């Protein structure tokens, strides 16, 4: 793929210019760290100490699930070891010697916060928890969660087991792209007969029952981390991720953050998939190039901000140009600060 390094501003369009500005509400959550982000664009809608490195307890299991889904066979059976069966903290109650499919273990992990499920998954995929933690760190680095480090698959307190609220929200947004993960964390109850499981599972995540549109994700608690909660809520068809860490009233404060976002933001469609956002001449060979949006672009817009879009293209686009090559990009700005970028697809038209 050819990369054009020399760029020029091709188009600036104001797309939201409210005549009057309503001052956004202020929100001070009773949490050490908190954040709300749009799952698709990763735009931050609210944050408090979002870059502070802190322990995250069983919300760790979001990454455990991601790694398990990536490397494991959901229908393969793993044997519960004595180490898994005897782990302290929250457990499903698996007995040593039981054989459980990875799919069932993931339900036990995420709905019941089973530390026994976490160890069995780690041992079944990587041989032991230490090697599984290496996979977790490798995956975190690969997706861009650079301020996180994992030592265990369950999240019990360890000196070098930590993350930030932003990283945790970002990891969750990646997990939400996976249908298997979504199906698990959005389930309230799963009967043993549904997938041929050894037992039934009830989701202990109260947020599923307290906020309309809530579809996950994970609770957590340890002495060092305090009470933690990562939530996902469908708002106008879009996932918003909410994280509170070291937050005793975690249900209440998550609902306050949800109400804040609901009151102060609304989703607006900036561009539709296939829209021609730029048209220009090709330097040699004649003809024109059109740049098309690769997908619908929705932005959560603050009700007291001004938004604009820019199209960035090369100064010297030359033929031949293959249709659907990534050429140029579109940028969305909020009060002159870039908040979103995406590539554009080239379409060559002869004279």
Which of 230, 269, 278, 234 is closest to 253 using CA atoms? 230
**Quick check: 7 and 315 in contact, CB under 8 A?**
yes
- Annotated catalytic residue 347: no
Q: How far apart are CA 220 and CA 226, in angstroms?
A: 8
Q: How far apart are CA 40 and CA 172, in angstroms?
A: 11
Tell me the CA end-to-end span of the chain in Å, nearest whole number.
24
The number of residues making up the chain comes to: 351
User: Which residue in 61, 91, 176, 309 is the catalytic one?
Assistant: 61
- Annotated catalytic residue 6: no
DSSP E strand boundaries for 19-146: 33-38, 44-48, 77-79, 99-101
Which of 148, 176, 107 is closest to 245 using CA atoms? 148
- The verdict on whether residue 218 carries a ligand-binding annotation is yes
Please, what is the Cα angle at 183 between 177 and 185, to 5 degrees?
90
The dihedral sign for the CA sequence 196, 198, 202, 208? negative
Residue with tokens 């909660």: 229
DSSP E strand boundaries for 208-325: 214-222, 226-235, 238-245, 265-271, 276-281, 288-292, 297-302, 307-314
With a CB cutoff of 8 Å and minimum separation 6, the contacts of 101 are 74, 75, 76, 77, 78, 195, 197
User: Which residue in 39, 48, 58, 173 is the catalytic one?
Assistant: 58
Q: How many CB atoms lie within 10 A of CB 200?
A: 13
With a CB cutoff of 8 Å and minimum separation 6, the contacts of 308 are 12, 13, 14, 15, 16, 332, 333, 336
User: Which residue in 65, 81, 90, 113 is the catalytic one?
Assistant: 113
Q: CA gyration radius for the chain? A: 23
Q: How far apart are CA 83 and CA 91, in angstroms?
A: 12
- Annotated catalytic residue 279: no
Known binding-site positions: 218
Residues acting as catalytic residues:
58, 61, 113
């Amino acid at each position: 793929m050819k990369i054009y390094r020399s760029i020029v501003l091709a188009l600036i369009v104001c797309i939201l210019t409210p005549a009057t500005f309503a001052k956004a509400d202020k929100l001070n959550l009773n949490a050490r760290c908190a954040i709300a982000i749009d799952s698709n664009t990763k735009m931050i809608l609210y944050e408090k100490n979002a870059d502070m490195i802190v322990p995250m307890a069983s919300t760790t299991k979001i990454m455990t699930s991601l790694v398990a889904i990536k490397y494991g066979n959901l229908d393969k059976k793993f044997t519960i070891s004595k180490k898994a069966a005897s782990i302290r903290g929250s457990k499903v109650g698996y007995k040593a010697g039981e054989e459980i499919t990875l799919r069932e273990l993931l339900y036990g992990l995420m709905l019941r916060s089973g530390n026994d499920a976490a160890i069995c998954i780690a041992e079944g995929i990587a041989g032991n928890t230490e090697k599984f933690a290496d996979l977790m760190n490798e995956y975190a680095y690969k997706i861009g969660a650079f301020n996180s480090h994992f030592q265990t698959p369950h999240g019990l307190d360890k000196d070098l087991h930590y993350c930030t609220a932003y990283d945790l929200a970002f990891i969750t947004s990646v997990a939400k792209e996976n249908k298997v993960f979504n199906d698990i964390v959005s389930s309230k109850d799963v009967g043993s007969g549904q997938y041929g499981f050894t037992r039934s599972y009830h989701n202990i995540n109260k947020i599923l029952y307290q906020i309309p549109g809530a579809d996950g994700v994970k609770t957590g608690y340890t002495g060092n981390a305090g009470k933690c909660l990562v939530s996902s809520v469908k708002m106008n068809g879009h996932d918003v991720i909410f994280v509170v860490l070291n937050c005793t009233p975690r249900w209440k404060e998550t609902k306050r953050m949800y109400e804040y976002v609901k009151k102060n933001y609304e989703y607006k469609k900036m561009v539709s998939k296939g829209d021609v956002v730029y048209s220009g001449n090709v330097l040699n060979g004649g003809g024109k190039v059109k740049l098309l949006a690769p997908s619908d672009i929705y932005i959560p817009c603050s009700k007291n901000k001004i938004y604009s879009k820019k199209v960035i293209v090369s100064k010297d686009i030359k033929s031949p140009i293959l249709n659907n090559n990534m050429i140029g990009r579109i940028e969305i700005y909020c009060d002159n600060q870039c908040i979103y970028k995406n590539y554009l697809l080239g379409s060559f038209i002869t004279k």
